[in-house]
Amino acid sequence: MAPRSTVARILRPEQLAARLELLPPRRAAAIPGLAALRAVTGLITDHRLAWGPIGAIGYELATGEPVAGPLSPLRLVLRAPAWLSRRDAMQLWWELDRLDVELDAELEIRNHVVPLDRYAWGTVGRANSGRHPTQAAMSRALRAMPRQVLDDIR
């Protein structure tokens, strides 16, 4: 960790997406995680959650240092004042999964943090034992669902 005296400014993840405009446009377009931020803003705002990027994308937005690469996942923290319904969590996950970027979203509620996909699919608190479906597997499962079920989820 850096000594406190060397810290010029502290930014919360919620402040970082707005800093996309500070990056060179060519850089923002070349990195899928950065390019997806505008779409994410619209999707998450519809759900009335505080949110922000973390990981390499968040670090780059906070510092301006080009640390994210084309394969860097877009890691998000989603902050909710209370537990979301599983239906709302699944709808949000479904919308985010449609973006053309590797995405990892963490849902933070009070003092708890859970992966959004695990919460949406009801696997939070269960022993993982290596059987937790990957994001790609869940996408395939959703695409295979009858249209009526998907309409009910949305």
* pLDDT 10s digits, 13-23: 999 999 999 99
- Amino acid code (one letter) for 65: E
**pTM, 2 dp:** 0.77
Condensed to tens digits (0 to 9), the pLDDT of residues 75-107 reads 999 999 998 999 999 999 999 999 989 999 999
Condensed to tens digits (0 to 9), the pLDDT of residues 27-63 reads 999 999 999 999 999 899 888 899 999 999 999 999 9
Class of residue 56 by CB neighbours under 10 A (exposed 0-12, middle 13-18, buried 19+): buried
Place of tokens 């705002």: 45
The count of other CB atoms within 10 Å of the CB of residue 125 is 8
| 138: pLDDT strictly greater than 50 | yes
Q: Tell how far CA 153 is from the center of its chain.
A: 20
| CA distance linking residue 142 with residue 154, whole number of Å | 12
